[in-house]
Amino acid sequence: MQDLSNKTAIITGASRGIGEAAARELAAKGAKVVLAARSGADIERIAAELRAEGHEAIAQTCDVSDRAAVEELITSTMATFSTVDILVNNAGLIDPITRIADSDPEAWTQVIDTNVKGVYYGLRYAIPIMIAQGGGTIINISSGAANSFLEGWSHYCASKAAVLRLTGVAHKEYHDQGVRLVGLSPGTVATKMQVSIKASGINPVSKLDPSAHIPADWVAQTISYLCGPGGDEFLGQDFSLKTEEGRKLVGLPGLS
């Protein structure tokens, strides 16, 4: 079992879904966790629950599309825990789902600002700290959309393709200085995002039966796995939970 004792982990988008599950999983493995999200009330509640269980956890309101907010998130984490060992760039948007000619440019841009710039800001401010302390791990939540053309998802496909390239470039630039970069493509996950996708009725993903979606806990277990030596084989690329091999490595049930 992965031991993350004395490690500090920042998880963005930690108010629900994959982010909340990741915070709980990493805390259970011994990490000190910093929950970041726009929804302050939710992350405060989750952090309080973790502290009641004996874990070290704090919450910080942060909109990752705001450069200054991400810089403050990293700075305040250092002030509290003295290290940033793990960063999970999880915060992401998919709404509104619509075809390009019908899209609202401002809403489209907001998705790019969150999904792409939010990841970039995390990299920009965490990497120098990780280099100075001798290493660290950054996990960027990716998607099969990075390599797909899905109707109504122009913003999401474009943003996840950008995240995949950020993962690869950051790995090339900093792996020899101890910074581990890996992407995680989990497939479809049973989160609130799937409600929006289902309601859109656009593209085959919206037609999937809810039973096809994996639990967020599986993604959290995979994040923990990638923080350890098991992730070394996948540095600079996306690890996929849509393969038998990937699930077997993590210890998850196989594809049905």
Residue 76: give the domain boundaries. Answer: 8-188+217-249
Would you write out the chain's pLDDT as a tens digit for each of its 256 residues? Answer: 679 999 999 999 999 999 999 999 999 999 999 999 998 999 999 999 999 999 999 999 999 999 999 999 999 999 999 999 999 999 999 899 999 999 999 999 999 999 999 999 999 999 999 999 999 999 999 998 899 898 999 999 999 999 999 999 999 999 999 999 999 999 777 677 777 788 887 887 777 777 778 799 999 999 999 999 999 999 999 999 999 999 999 999 887 6
pLDDT of residue 2: 78
Q: Is the CB of residue 138 less than 8 Å from the CB of residue 87? A: yes
In a domain, 196, yes or no: no
Q: Is the CB of residue 188 less than 8 Å from the CB of residue 214? A: yes
Q: Which residues of 126-153 are buried (b: 16+ CB within 10 A; e: fewer)?
A: bbebbeeeeebbbbbbbbbbbeeebbbb
- How many distinct structural domains can be found in the chain? 1
pLDDT of residue 65: 98
C-alpha distance across the termini of the chain, in Å: 25
In a domain, 203, yes or no: no
In a domain, 198, yes or no: no
pLDDT tens-place string over residues 118-130: 999 999 999 999 9
In a domain, 194, yes or no: no
pLDDT of residue 191: 74
Q: Is 54 exposed, middle or buried (0-12, 13-18, 19+ CB in 10 A)?
A: exposed
Q: Is the CB of residue 179 less than 8 Å from the CB of residue 129? A: no
pLDDT of residue 202: 82
Q: What CATH number is associated with residue 224?
A: 3.40.50.720
pLDDT tens-place string over residues 146-176: 998 989 999 999 999 999 999 999 999 999 9
Which residues form the catalytic set?
Answer: 156
pLDDT of residue 39: 87
In a domain, 130, yes or no: yes
Residues 6+ apart with CB under 8 A from 123: 89, 138, 166, 170
| pTM of this prediction exceeds 0.75 | yes
